[in-house]
Amino acid sequence: MTVSMRKIHAGRGYDYLLKSVVRADANMGDPNPVTRYYTDEGTPPGRWMGSALHAFGTGEIRRGDTVTSQQLQLLIGTGLDPVTGEQLGRAFPVYPPTEERVAARVADLSPDLTDDQRKQAVQQIKAEEVRKPSSGVAGFDYTFSVPKSVSALWGVADAGTQALIVDAHHQAVAEVLDFMEREVVATRRGVAAGDGAVMQADVIGVAATAYDHWDSRLGDPQLHTHVVISNKVKTTADGRWRSLDGNPMFEAIVPLSAHYNAVLADHITRLFGIEWEQRDRGKNHNAAWELAPVPEKLIWEFSSRGSDVDQETDRRVAEYIAQHGRRPSPVKVMEIRARATLATRPNKEVRSLFDLTTDWRGRAQKILGTGAVDSSRPSSGHARADRRSPRHGAGG
């Protein structure tokens, strides 16, 4: 799974996006999107995406513009227009603190319960209430991660090749977002007949912010982009601001991931003419398409974070089987893996891309040898467009 999704709640739920953004002034005269931030500690600032940006203010925000922290706070933090600060539809709901909710439910417990029964009931109430949000859904964070072999190749490549791979990744993300706007996103509105009935309604598009990250939380190369789609959408029919219908968003994760993989593979193949092959990823994983020239031992060298998540996922899947007497569905496994990812997430060290790539190339040389590393990576001067990718190859 190379596309995942999680909800972002109103308030400061977006802070993690800003923690690794560079604080220094980038060399904006450098046309290379990689070397522009090469020596600064951190990652590029966010950029705007989506076809609904013209609905903010009087159209000041355009695709590709830099997202300021104030704009992010207005739209994702409080549900306001990022230009004017005006309320977009209904305000995000705010729920009572966890302690208050627990106290209210405990007060309603039957006085006939035994001490043990009451103790168990209180523990259950606390567990349920802790999992509930304290505010409404402000957006959906889609994380687009390139396949492991692409990250490994990107990590040891020269700066020019890195920039080409990043651009191919960006194009794939943009194409998938365009597809989502056409086929997935919608809102819900009441039916005139009343009865509390609702129906899906078309929207003018979405407003999204994209943040590129270079590495995993354990310092391995992991090129990925967080695309945060605002929950605020404008209805085509009446021009009112409403919330996204979350159901199709969740249901589309698996096909969106497959679509992203195919589009990215096409771009990579057209650039470098590299062949792909399917590789087994063990239990609880589907077979994955990887770049044929990238050896498994290099992929595993750069998969420290994935190993931790795999172990926790396996443990939780085993618990599910013991409890339900059957294996979880592919969608359920995806949910389990998402929870395992959060449960095993360490603090991330912010480093410059120069330091990261220096470290990655050194590690790769220990595994493959200096000559093997040099011969395994494509040159930015050898882009081509005549080989097959998984979308067009056998089994794709």
- Residue pLDDT, tens place only, 86-117: 999 999 988 888 888 899 999 999 999 999 99
- Min mean pLDDT across 46-55, 273-282, 300-309 is at 300-309
Name the H helices within 325-389.
330-343, 353-368, 370-376
Query: Taking the model in full, what pTM does it have?
Result: 0.80
Across the chain, mean pLDDT equals: 85
> Strand runs (DSSP E) across 119-265, as ranges?
137-145, 187-190, 198-201, 208-215, 221-230, 232-234, 241-243
Query: What H or E segment, with its residue span, contains residue 15?
Result: helix 15-18
**Residue range 280-292: average pLDDT?**
77
Find the range with the poorest average confidence among 1-10, 52-61, 343-352: 343-352
CB 39 within 8 A of CB 167: no
Residue type (1 letter), 256: L
Note the pLDDT of residue 386.
41
Is residue 266's pLDDT more than 90?
Answer: yes
Structure-token match 């789609």, residue found: 229
Identify the band that residue 394 occupies on the pLDDT scale cut at 50, 70 and 90: very low
First CA to last CA across the chain, in angstroms?
16
Contact by Cβ (8 Å): 172, 155? no
Closest Cα partner for 361 from 349, 352, 370, 348? Answer: 370
Distance CA 154, CA 381 (A): 15
pLDDT of 194 higher than 70: no
Number of helices and strands in the chain (H, E): 14, 11
Whose tokens are 């249901």? That residue is: 251
Residue 332's pLDDT band, with cuts at 50, 70 and 90, is confident
By three-state DSSP, how is residue 150 classified?
helix
Q: State residue 335's pLDDT score.
A: 78
pLDDT tens-digit readout, 313-325: 888 888 888 888 9
Q: At what angle do helices 159-183 and 253-272 cross, to 10 degrees?
A: 140
On the 0-12 / 13-18 / 19+ scale of CB atoms within 10 A, 41 is: middle
Query: Is the per-residue pLDDT at 235 higher than 60?
Result: yes
347 burial via Cβ count (<10 Å: 0-12, 13-18, 19+)? exposed
